[in-house]
Amino acid sequence: MVRAVVSVVVAVFVLHILFVVLDANQGNGFVATIYTVAKALVLGLGDVFTPDDAVLGVVMNYGLAALLYLVIGQLVIKALRRH
pLDDT in tens, 43-72: 988 899 999 999 999 999 999 999 999 999
CB atoms within 10 A of CB 63: 15
Taking each helix axis from N to C end, the angle separating 2-21 and 29-41, rounded to the nearest 10 degrees, works out to 120
pLDDT at 83: 73
Residue 77, pLDDT > 80, answer: yes
Distance between CA atoms of residues 79 and 62, nearest Å = 25
User: pLDDT, tens digit, for every residue of 13-32?
Assistant: 999 999 999 999 999 999 99
Task: Give me the pLDDT at residue 71, please.
Answer: 96
